[in-house]
Amino acid sequence: MKGMWWKLLGLLLVLFSLVYGMLGPVQRLPILNETIRVLYYHVPMWFSMVALMLTSLIYSLKALNTNKLSDDLYAFEAARTGFFLASIGLATGMVWARFTWGAFWVNDPKLNGTAVTMLIYLAYFVLRNSVEDPFKKIRLAGVYNIFAFVMMIVFIGILPRLTDSLHPGNGGNPGFNKYDLNSDMRPVFYSAVVGWILIGLWITNLRVRYKNLKEKHEQV
Amino acid sequence: MNKYKLALFFILIALSNASAQIPEVEMADALRENGKIYVVVVIIAIVFIGLAGYLINLDRKISKLEKKD
């Protein structure tokens, strides 16, 4: 059980957000109504995606420094988990959009930016898997991953802020920016974000260990 | 006198309008009042705790395999 505490902490934080997210008081806002609770379940997916892509970037930089394939593997698996969480974020967002905006997909800068970001990371996966030589793999994948991270920040962090977005809290929409995310909702939201980041890191950790075991097994 | 009555009348209309315009936002209050929401929450919690236990178990199995190598 040693080294398990952060995994359990992640689980507890998410459990708290699941339970209290349904029961706790929320603001009564038009259009959003009860779907304001989606903040606790959908938005943490994106926060943890960004956290995992940042982890991936750090390990890519490390791999470029040390030339170790194990660091590069960690970068790859972190990006994979981030991509997985982004897919869940996209799916949950689409359901919510259908009932709030009337369509599964609208031309919102955040939606299109996310789609482009996911395509960029898909290209990263293809690129890394297509190179056999380990040293070339570390160089190419590492350098591309830096590019991918910068593009992600541009597409989901900067461009949506330059125009109006339909998302709550943007433009003139009812929602939760730092002024009106009230004190009832804030602790639940933050514990969901931290909890999901920890769980994302845990999934990455499991996959890396699985890949290492598999490689050992294949060598024997 | 009539002027004041008219003014009072308009003020009353303005007030009644103002109170009518406070938006009544629809929330799932009934679900909370009759307590059925707790059933849903308990079920969500059971599903998540089950998944969490499964994940922890999987983690320990991988740890055992790593020690064997």
Distance CA A157, CA A114 (A): 10
Respond yes or no on whether ipTM tops 0.90. Answer: no
Is the Cβ of A28 closer than 8 Å to some Cβ of chain B?
A: yes
Question: Which member of B23, B37, B41 has the closest CB to residue A30?
Answer: B23
pLDDT of residue A1: 60
pLDDT of residue A86: 96
Cβ atoms within 10 Å, residue B38? 14
CA A81 – CA A53 distance, rounded (Å): 9
Query: Encoding tokens for residue A139?
Result: 């160089």
CA distances from B14 to A19, A151, B2, B19 (A): 44, 54, 18, 9
Helix then strand count (H, E) for chain A reads 7, 0
State the number of CA atoms in the 13 A half-sphere of B49 facing the CB. 8
- Residue window 23-42, chain B: list those with CB within 8 Å of chain A: 23, 25-28, 37-38, 40-41
Name the closest residue on chain A to residue B38, using Cα atoms: A23
What count of residues does chain A have? 220
Tell me B8's DSSP state. H
pLDDT given for residue B33 in this prediction: 81
How far is A78 from A207, CA to CA, in rounded Å? 9
CB < 8 Å to B40, chain A: 22
All residues of chain B having their beta carbon less than 8 Å from the beta carbon of residue A30 are 23, 25
DSSP letter assigned to residue A114: H
Distance of alpha carbon A171 from alpha carbon A173, whole angstroms = 6
- What is the SS3 string spanning A123-192? HHHHHHHHCCCHHHHHHHHHHHHHHHHHHHHHHHHHHHHHCCCCCCCCCCCCCCCCCCCCCCHHHHHHHH
Q: Which chain B residues are Cβ-neighbours of A213 within 8 angstroms? A: 62, 65-66, 69
Looking at residue B41, what is its pLDDT?
93
Position B5 scores a pLDDT of 76
Predicted model pTM? 0.85
What are the structure tokens assigned to A104, written together? 């599964």
Please give the Cα distance from B64 to B66 (Å, whole number).
5
Give the A window 189-218 contacts with B, CB below 8 Å: 202, 206, 209-210, 213, 216
- pLDDT at position A180 is 56
Whether residues A206 and B44 touch (CB distance < 8 A) is answered with no
* pLDDT at residue A158, as a whole number: 85
Among residues A214, A210, A111, A125, which one has the least CA distance to residue A170?
A: A111
Name every chain A residue with its beta carbon within 8 A of the beta carbon of B52.
11, 15
- Closest chain A CA to residue B29: A34
Give the pLDDT confidence score for residue A81 in this predicted structure.
97
Predicted pLDDT of residue A208: 95
Q: Select from B25, B40, B62 the Cβ nearest to the Cβ of A22.
A: B40
Put simply, the answer to whether A33 touches B37 (Cβ < 8 Å) is: no
| First vs last C-alpha separation in chain B | 100
Q: Could A15 and B45 be called an inter-chain contact, meaning their C-beta atoms sit closer than 8 Å?
A: yes
Query: Which residues are within 8 A (CB) of A69 and not within 5 positions of it... i.e. 6 or more apart?
Result: A63, A134, A137, A138
Choose from B36, B58, B59 for mutation: most chain A CBs within 10 A.
Answer: B59
Q: What is the pLDDT of residues A130-146, one digit of tens each?
A: 999 999 999 999 999 99
How close is the nearest chain B Cα to the Cα of A91, in Å? 19
Rounded Cα distance, A167 and A18, in Å: 22
| Record: contact B41-A22, CB cut-off 8 A | yes
pLDDT of residue A35: 86
- Which residues of chain A are modeled with pLDDT < 70? 1, 170-181
Single-letter amino acid, residue A54: L
> What is the distance in angstroms between the CA of the first residue and the CA of the last residue of chain A?
29
**Which regions of chain B are under pLDDT 70?**
1, 9-23
How many CB atoms neighbour CB A128 within 10 A? Answer: 20
Residue A57's CB is within 10 A of a number of other CB atoms, namely 20
